[in-house]
Structure 1
C-alpha cells in the first residue's frame, strides 16, 4: 500500500474519522465539565546536607551523599510518615471516615492503614533538579484539606527524620550505659586487687623504695670492694708478721719497739764495754748482762704482741668483709624481690589503667550518644509551607481537549483503516490490478466533461504503452 492508496482511503473514510474525533472531543469536554474540581497544595522543604553532622561535627562519607535525597524522598513517601499524618490530623477519629472505611473494606484491616494508603496515592514528591529542595504536593477536592495534609506531611517528615536519628542513639545509649557499669565494676575490682597487693607486701611507693634499696645495694658493693682490699693488705701484713716479724713493717714501725731497740743497743754497748774490763763474775758484769737479757726478752715479747695485733686486725677485717658480703647478698635478694613485686604491681596498675581508659572512652561515647539521642535537631527545614489553593488544579479542560484531539484523531484513523480492512474496495488502478491480478488496459472516467468535444464518454480507452500495467 502506497501513499496514494492511503490518501484515497482517508478521503473515503473521512466521515467516520471526523465523527470519531468529534465524539472523542465531545465526551472529553463533557467528562471534564462533569468531574469535580481538584485542588493541589505544595509544601517545600530544604535538605541541609553538607556532609558534616551539625551536632557531632563528624564528616559523612562522600559516597553516601548522592543517595541522600533519594533516601529522604523514600522516607517522605513511607507508610510511617503517612500514619503520623493520619494521627496528627485525627482522621481516623471521624465517624464519617470510619463508615466509609467499613463500606470500602467490609471492616477488614484498620482505618489508619486504609487512610494512609489513600493519602499516599494522592501524594506527589518532586525533588529539585540541581538543588536540595523537595516539593511535597497533595491533591484533593477540599482546598483547606489538601493544604493541611501537605503541611502535615512536611511536619511529620521532620519529626520522623529526627526520630530516625534519635532512636538508634537511644538504643546505643542503653548499650553504652550497661557497658559503663560493667567497666566501672572492672575498675573497682582491679583497684581492689592493687590495694590488697600493696597491703600484703607493705608497699607505699614501690619506686621510691626501690631507689633507696638500690642505693643501699650500691653502697654495700662499694664497702665490700673496700673491705676486700683492706683484708688483702691485712693478710699480707699478717703473713709477714708471723713469718719474719723483724722484717714486718708493722713491727719495725712500732715506736715502742724502736725505743726498746735503742735501749737494747745502748745496753749491749755498755755490756760489751764492761765485759772487756770486768770478769763475768763481777757484779757490774752480771748486772749489765741481766739488763741486756731483760731488754731482749721485753723486745721479743713486744714483737710477738705487735705480730698478734696485726693478725687480730686481719681477723677483724676478714669478719667485716664476710659481714658485708652477707649483707650484700641479702640486699641483692631484697632488691630482686622488690623488682618482682614491682613487676607484679605494674601488671596490676596496667589492669587499672586499661580499665580506666576503657571506662573513659565508654563514658565519652555514652555522653555523646545521650546528647544525640536527646537532640531535637534535623537536617530538614521547612522552606515554603502549603497555602490554601484558590484555583483548582483540575480538571484542565484545554489540556484534556488537546489530548482528546490527538487521541480522537488516532482513534479515527485506526477505525477508518480497520473498516477498510474488513470492507476493501477498489479505489484506484493499483487496487484493481492487485485484486484481479491482471494488467489494467484503460480507465473509464465517468465524470462529465465541461466542454464535451467527443460523442463518446470514453477517455483514454487505449492508453499509452507506458501507462499499461502488466503482471506476470
Structure 2
C-alpha cells in the first residue's frame, strides 16, 4: 500500500473516522465531567545534609552519602510515619471511619493500620533531580484534608528522623552510664590497693626515699673501701711490729722509746767508762750496771707496749671494716627491698592510671552521648508548607480532551482500515491492477458533483486518460 491508496482509504472512510473521533471526545469529556474532583497538596522539605554531624562535627563516611536521599524518602513513606499521622489527626476515633473500616475489612486488623495503608496509597514522595528538596504530595477529595495530611506527614517525618537518630544514642548513653559506674568502682579498688600497700610498707614517697638510701649505700661503699685500705696498712704494720720491733716505724717513731734509747746509750757509755776505771765489785760499777739493766728493761717493755698498740690498732680497723661491710650489706638489702617495693607499687600505680584513663574516656564518651541524646535537632526543614489547593488536580478536562483527540484519530484510522480489510474496494487503477493482475489501458475521469444535479450526471465520463 502506497501513500495515495492510504489517502484514498482515509477519504472514503472519513465519516467513520469523524464519528469515532467525535464519540471518543464526547466520552472523554463526559467522563471528565462525571469523575469526582481530586485535589493535591504539596509540602516541600529541605534536607540540610552536608555529611557532618551538627553536634560533634565528625564527618560521616563517604559511602553513606549516595543513599542518603533514598533512605530519607523511604523513611517519609514508611508506615511508622503514617501511623503517627493517623494519631496526630485523630482519624481512628471517627465513628464514620470505624464504620467504613468494619464494612471494608469485616473487622479484621486495626483501624490505625487500615488508615495508614490508605494514606500511603495516596502519598507520593518526589525528590528533586539536582537539589536537596523533597516534595510530599497527597491527593484527596477535600482540599483542607489533603493540606492537613501533607503537613502532618512532613511534621511526623521530622519527628521520626530525630527519633531514629536519638534512640540509638540514648541506648548508648545508658550503656556508657553503666560502664562509667563500673570503671569508677575499678578506680576506687585500685586506689585502695595502692594506699593499703603504702600504709603497710610505710611509704610516703618511694622515689625520694630510694634516692636517700642509694646515696647512703654509696657512702658506705666508699667508707668500706677506705676502711679496707686502712686495715691492710694496719695489718702490715702489725706484722712488722711483731717480727722485728726495731725495724717497725711505729716503734721507732715512739718518743718515749727514743728517749729510753738515748738514756740507755748514755748509761752504757757511763758503764763502759766506769768498767775501765773501776772493778766489777765497785759500788759505782754496780750502780751503773743496775741503771743500764733497768733502762734496757724499760726499753723492752715500751717496745712491747708499742707493738701491742699497733696490733690493737689493726684489730680496731679490722672490726671497723667488718662493721662497715655488715652495714653495707644491710643497706644493700634495704635498697633491693625498696626497689622491689617500688616495682610492686609501680604496678599498682599503673593499675590506678589505667583504670583512671578508662574511666575518663568512658566519662567523656558518656557526656558526649548524653548531650547528643538530648539534642533533638533535625537537619530537615519545611521549605514550603502545604496550603489548601484552590484548583483540582484531576480530572484535567483540557488534557483529557487533547488525549481523546489523539486517541479518537488513532481509533478512527484503525477502524477505517479494519472496515477496508473486511470490504475491500477498488479505489484506484493500482487497486484494479493489483487485484486482477492485468494491465490497465485507461481511466475514465468524472466531473465533480454540482448542487442540483443527480448522481447519474456525475458519473458521466468527461474524458479518457490513457496509460
The 1:298/1:101 distance shift into structure 2, 3 A limit, reads same
> 1:459 pairs with 452, 459, 464, which one?
464
Give the root-mean-square deviation of aligned CA atoms: 2.3
Aligned to 2:168: 168
C-alpha contact 1:45 1:133 (8 A) present in aligned 2: yes
Following superposition, the deviation at residue 456 of structure 1 comes to 8.2
Deviates more, 1:424-433 or 1:324-333: 424-433
Q: CA–CA distance in 1 between the matches of 2:291 and 2:251?
A: 22
SS of residue matched to 2:349: helix
Aligned to 2:320: 320
SS of residue matched to 1:445: strand
Structure 1 position 401 matched with structure 2 position 381: no
Aligned residue pairs total 458
Q: CA–CA distance in 2 between the matches of 1:371 and 1:15?
A: 79
C-alpha contact 2:429 2:443 (8 A) present in aligned 1: no
Q: CA–CA distance in 2 between the matches of 1:381 and 1:312?
A: 105
The 1:424/1:292 distance shift into structure 2, 3 A limit, reads farther
Aligned to 1:441: 440
Q: How does 1:185-334 map to 2 (within 5 A)?
A: 185-334=185-334
Aligned to 2:103: 103
Structure 1 position 367 matched with structure 2 position 367: yes
Q: How does 1:48-67 map to 2 (within 5 A)?
A: 48-67=48-67
* Alpha-carbon displacement from aligned partner over 1:415-451 (angstroms, at most 9, x marks no partner): 3333334444443344444444x2433354363599x
Structure 1 position 418 matched with structure 2 position 423: no
Following superposition, the deviation at residue 88 of structure 1 comes to 0.4
TM-score, normalising length from structure 1?
0.90
Q: CA–CA distance in 1 between the matches of 2:366 and 2:226?
A: 64
Following superposition, the deviation at residue 341 of structure 1 comes to 2.0
Aligned to 1:42: 42
Q: CA–CA distance in 2 between the matches of 1:44 and 1:166?
A: 24
Aligned to 2:391: 391
Which consecutive residues of structure 1, in runs of 5 or more, have no partner in the other structure?
Answer: 464-472
C-alpha contact 1:429 1:440 (8 A) present in aligned 2: no
Q: How does 1:71-220 map to 2 (within 5 A)?
A: 71-220=71-220
SS of residue matched to 1:124: strand
Q: CA–CA distance in 2 between the matches of 1:281 and 1:411?
A: 190
Which consecutive residues of structure 2, in runs of 5 or more, have no partner in the other structure?
Answer: 450-456
Q: CA–CA distance in 2 between the matches of 1:456 and 1:37?
A: 61
Q: CA–CA distance in 1 between the matches of 2:275 and 2:435?
A: 196
Aligned to 2:6: 6
TM-score, normalising length from structure 2?
0.91
Following superposition, the deviation at residue 358 of structure 1 comes to 1.0
The 1:99/1:289 distance shift into structure 2, 3 A limit, reads same
